[in-house]
Amino acid sequence: MEETQRQKKVGGVLQADLADVLQRAASDGGMQGVLISVTKVRVTTDLSVAKAYLSVFPEDKGPELLAGIRSNQPLIRKELAARTRHQLRKMPELMFYIDDTLAYLDKIDQQLKGADNPIAHPELLDKRKKI
């Protein structure tokens, strides 16, 4: 089902404010040199849950950073509620996920450029599993 205009607007507002909150928290928390970007925020139709997808550079800091974000979720939610108090009546519950799309695309690009090109060597491709 496609997102409504309201869902897109709320997602956009949360994405912008969440990126600022997380980047500031990472720099204040001693994680200098870590870049956090919020790639997408999807909000449910009743606006009660927001799923935030985060891209972290360098990638090896992702799981550690995600664990820290999830443990500080109530504080992050409170900060976002204060920032969006004139735009949202109720702050949605936040759920955080690592967005590995860029790493996946980079892996495909490296495979196509390298010796393990699946187009030239189809035996490298995983066989499809029947469901």
Q: Classify 47 in phi/psi space as left (phi over 0), alpha (psi -120 to 50) or beta.
A: left
pLDDT of the residue at 8: 92
122 lies in some domain: no
20 lies in some domain: yes
Pairing type for strands 35-43 and 49-57 reads: antiparallel
79 lies in some domain: yes
pLDDT in tens, 93-130: 999 999 888 778 888 888 777 766 667 777 766 665 55
CATH code, domain with 95:
3.30.300.20
Helix, strand or coil, per DSSP, at residue 82:
helix
131 lies in some domain: no
129 lies in some domain: no
18 lies in some domain: yes
Cβ–Cβ < 8 Å for 55, 36: yes
69 lies in some domain: yes
**H/E run at residue 28:** helix 5-28
Into how many domains does the chain fold?
1
Q: Give the other-Cβ count within 10 Å of 43's Cβ.
A: 23
Q: If you count them, how many residues does the chain have? A: 131
pLDDT of the residue at 118: 67
Question: 16 is in which domain, residue-wise?
Answer: 5-117
pLDDT in tens, 51-103: 999 988 888 888 888 888 899 899 999 999 999 888 888 999 999 999 888 77
pTM: 0.76
37 lies in some domain: yes
